[in-house]
Structure 1
Amino acid sequence: MIQTAKVTRVLEDGRAEVAVKRQSACGHDCSKCGGGCSELMVSSTVAVIAANPVRARLGDTVRVESSTGGVLGAAVVVYLVPFLLFFLGYFLTAAAGFGEGASASVGVIGFALGVIIAMMTDRQVRKRRAISFQITAIEPEL
């Protein structure tokens, strides 16, 4: 994934901290998703540490490339696992002959377990830095 970012700090080890705008699912074209984007999501930024082989300086606008595989893997865990556990719990409980209330309760517990798994996975990804960022170019000033 390639994004534009602003260098907020230059580190001595050849890396830099950059502020990257958080991308929405529709790429900020709200007409594609029916205008469902929230203003909070559009304007929020995330600070990440990126390799700085182009020697960008503080305040530079840069092009940042991130490892797509790590991003997609994290998205699967965050978005799919809670819903899969919800439906799995709901339908297995229903198939076992328990009432609809019990099925719904087990489904909610499965969803909550999925959210906990997503949070733990996020911590592991951050700790291992499984999603890597690299500054690939300095954008020209307009």
Structure 2
Amino acid sequence: MIQTAKVTRVLENGTAEVSVKRQSACGHDCSKCGGGCSELMVSSTVSVVAANPVRAMPGDMVRVESSTGGVLKAAVVVYLVPFLLFFLGYFLCAAAQLGGGVSAAVGGCGFAVGVMLAVLLDRQVRRNQSITFCITAINPQD
């Protein structure tokens, strides 16, 4: 994934802290997706540490590339697993003819387990720094 970011500070180990705007699903063009983006999501930023082989300085606008494998894994866990666990619990209980209320409750528990898995993955990613970032250019022209 390639994004534009602003360098906030340079660290002693040759890396830089950059501020990256969170990307929305529609690429920040809410008119294309019917205005479904929230202003909070569009305007929020995330600070990450990136390799700095181009020696960018604080205040520089830079192009940052991130590893896509970790991002895709996180997206699957965050978006798909809770729903899959909900439907799995719901339909297994429905097949066992345990009643609609029990099926919904078990499905809700499955969804909650999926959300907890997403939180645990987030903590692991932060701890292991399994999503890496690298500054590839200063003053990118979009």
TM-score bin, normalised by smaller chain: over 0.9
1:121 — aligned with what? 121
Taking the aligned partners of 1:31 and 1:6, their CA distance within structure 2 comes to: 26
Q: Is the 8 A contact 2:23 2:42 kept in 1?
A: yes
Please say if 1:67 is aligned against 2:67.
yes
| AA aligned opposite 1:18 | V
TM-score, structure 1 length as denominator? 0.96
After superposition, give the CA deviation of every residue in 1:99-127 in whole Å (9 maximum; x if it has no partner).
00000000000000000000001111111
1:28 — aligned with what? 28
User: SS in structure 2 opposite 1:48?
Assistant: strand
Taking the aligned partners of 1:88 and 1:140, their CA distance within structure 2 comes to: 46
User: SS in structure 1 opposite 2:119?
Assistant: helix
TM-score, structure 2 length as denominator? 0.96
Root-mean-square deviation (CA, aligned residues, Å) is: 1.2
1:13 — aligned with what? 13
Within 5 Å, which residues of 2 pair with 1:33-112?
33-112=33-112
Unaligned runs of 5+ in 1: none
Query: Would you say how many aligned residue pairs link Structure 1 and Structure 2?
Result: 141
User: SS in structure 1 opposite 2:97?
Assistant: coil
Q: List 4+ stretches of structure 1 deviating above 3 A.
A: none
CA shift for structure 1 position 140: 6.2
CA shift for structure 1 position 32: 2.6
Taking the aligned partners of 1:11 and 1:77, their CA distance within structure 2 comes to: 32
CA separation of 1:56 and 1:76: change in aligned 2, threshold 3 A: same
Identity of aligned residues (%): 78
Unaligned runs of 5+ in 2: none
| AA aligned opposite 1:57 | M
